Amino acid sequence: MSTLKAVRGTRDLLPPETALWTRIEETARRVFARYNFGEIRTPVFEDTSLFARSVGEETDIVSKEMYTWEDRARAASEKAQSLTLRPENTAGVVRAYIEHKLGETGQLQKLFYIGPQFRRERPQKGRYRQFSQIGAEVIGPQSSGSESPLRDAEILEMLATLLDELGISGWTLHINSVGSSADRAHYNEVLRAALVDLAPKMCVDCQRRAVTNPLRVLDCKVPEDQPIIETLPKIVDSLDEESKQHLAAVTAALDAAGVPYTRNHRLVRGLDYYTRTTFEFTHGGLGAQNALLGGGRYDGLSEAIGGPKAPGIGFAMGEDRLVLTLQAQEAAQAEKIDAYIAPLGESLNPAALALARELRRAGLSVELGDGSFRLKKSFEAADKAARRIVILGEDELQSGILTVKDFATGTQTKVPRAELAEFLRKPGGE
Ligand code: ATP
Ligand code: MG
């Protein structure tokens, strides 16, 4: 008899890895609570038409990735129905918002979810057929402030905080605006015109997209097409004044809060009800599947599935990819030495050697920099070799209190010299 195995693209999660999943979920719940989000749990399967109408017929998800079946009627009172395992959770949340008339409360709804999603994709590292998403939606009638750029900025600031608290270092926030549906229609035509000459030099998918939905050319991952895509007109030049101001207000609030971001002109969503802000957080350690999370504004979604006007914004993060990132970070940390000593100026070199001797004699692995290095160079060298950097300047020498930075968490701590060896012995990253 052949042995039965977990279905292709699905996995068993076993201890000790499950402890990491629990830690991620607990951290997410803690952060969501601080921002006044409440949990929503929607069914794992829904009527197929919900996804067709919300995610959109021409997306990869709906056109080829959904697990759909005909549910036979079991009694005369029942109807046969086409059902689908949810490929994402925004559609279910907005359906529930409409079904339970949450808009009639007049309050902004701030809802988060954690749970499995299903897509029939080609399985590879970071891409599975059953995967878990942690996501949230902020949705409500216009009078609740749901359209305000402050909502966008607050969600992005929350995500930056969440990733930091999870201990994920080195993420990049990409942000763009796709404007109003009129802006997008205009941009689609601008792209279509630009692609007439260019598309024949591109991949077959792009040749098709250039005709059916030019916007999606920007999503192309084929390396040879990238230089061509870089020359295409940018959507920002097709935005109306209101959309431009909305985006400017989002970035101004991010600047004020000190959240770093980069403008990415290629970040678009191909669907009609997506409006204005789109964003993605990526991480270099993930390889080809480098998106940790994606999201954006969907001011027209509720109406597209038969509900009242209810502007909203949300995101979904791939929990599997968070786990992979944290595991890779932990493995990299484990290979590093305990500390790198950076003397600030050549006059401190002798004192740095004395400190290195002290720590090495205490059994720690230590790399000694040089006072002639600029601080930036010391930090780069230290980050490659060690879990922490110890800064030794004139002040530190006089006071006997050293500045230590942990690379995994980015936190800086003042440590008395007598306690330094003990401090550096801790694994770090916490
Ligand atoms: P990708 O470009 O990687 O296919 P996507 O645009 O299909 O991503 P979304 O639908 O926006 O992704 O989903 C949000 C997040 O969910 C992604 O950023 C990713 O982290 C995660 N995700 C999506 N599909 C999968 C999958 N098949 N396996 C694991 N995680 C996934
Ligand atoms: Mg995908």
Question: The tokens of 24 are what?
Answer: 């991620």
- The answer to whether the CB of 319 is under 6 A from ligand 1 is no
pLDDT of residue 103: 96
- The answer to whether the CB of 11 is under 6 A from ligand 1 is no
Are 95 and 249 contacting, i.e. CB atoms less than 8 angstroms apart? no
1-45: pLDDT as tens digits = 789 999 999 999 999 999 999 999 999 999 999 999 999 999 999
pLDDT of residue 272: 67
What's the Cα-to-Cα distance from 400 to each of 142, 366, 395, 428, rounded to whole Å? 58, 19, 8, 22
pLDDT of residue 111: 98
User: Which of ligand 1's atoms lies nearest the C-alpha of 316?
Assistant: 14
- Mutate-to-test residue for ligand 1 from 289, 322, 324, highest number of ligand atoms within 8 A of CB: 289
pLDDT of residue 84: 98
Ligand 1 centroid – CA 146 distance (Å): 25
pLDDT of residue 44: 98
Residue with CA at minimum distance from ligand 1 atom 28: 127
What is the second-level CATH architecture of the domain 336-425?
3-Layer(aba) Sandwich (3.40)
User: Which of ligand 1's atoms lies nearest the C-alpha of 135?
Assistant: 14
pLDDT of residue 429: 55
pLDDT of residue 57: 80
- The answer to whether the CB of 323 is under 6 A from ligand 1 is no
- Mutate-to-test residue for ligand 1 from 117, 218, 269, 313, highest number of ligand atoms within 8 A of CB: 117
- The answer to whether the CB of 147 is under 6 A from ligand 1 is no
- The answer to whether the CB of 274 is under 6 A from ligand 1 is no
Question: The tokens of 161 are what?
Answer: 């905080």
Residue with CA at minimum distance from ligand 1 atom 20: 318
User: Which of ligand 1's atoms lies nearest the C-alpha of 87?
Assistant: 10
Domains 17-180+240-328 and 336-425 belong to one CATH topology: no
Ligand 2 centroid – CA 389 distance (Å): 39
- The answer to whether the CB of 86 is under 6 A from ligand 1 is no
Residue with CA at minimum distance from ligand 1 atom 26: 127
- State the virtual CA torsion across 299, 300, 302, 304 in degrees, nearest 10: -170
Residue with CA at minimum distance from ligand 1 atom 2: 291
Question: The tokens of 234 are what?
Answer: 């940018």
Q: What residues does each domain of the chain span?
A: 17-180+240-328, 336-425
User: Which of ligand 1's atoms lies nearest the C-alpha of 61?
Assistant: 7
pLDDT of residue 297: 96
The pTM for the full model equals: 0.84
Task: Return the CA Rg of the chain.
Answer: 25
Residue with CA at minimum distance from ligand 1 atom 8: 291
- The answer to whether the CB of 315 is under 6 A from ligand 1 is no
- The answer to whether the CB of 216 is under 6 A from ligand 1 is no
pLDDT of residue 349: 97
Measure the CA–CA gap between 249 and 45, rounded to whole angstroms.
Answer: 38
Ordered DSSP codes for 245-282: HHHHHHHHHHHHHT---EE-TT----STT-EEEEEEEE
Ligand 2 centroid – CA 127 distance (Å): 8
207-252: pLDDT as tens digits = 998 988 898 899 888 999 999 999 999 999 999 999 999 999 999 9
- Mutate-to-test residue for ligand 1 from 172, 320, 323, highest number of ligand atoms within 8 A of CB: 320
Ligand 1 centroid – CA 97 distance (Å): 23
pLDDT of residue 366: 97
Nearest-ligand number for the alpha carbon of 220: 1
User: Which of ligand 1's atoms lies nearest the C-alpha of 315?
Assistant: 14
Residue ranges of the chain whose pLDDT lies below 70: 269-272, 428-430
Topology of domain 17-180+240-328, CATH: BirA Bifunctional Protein; domain 2 (3.30.930)
- Burial of 356: CB neighbours in 10 Å, binned 0-12, 13-18, 19+: buried
232 Cβ partners below 8 Å, 6+ apart? 191, 194, 195, 198, 217, 218
Ligand 2 centroid – CA 133 distance (Å): 13
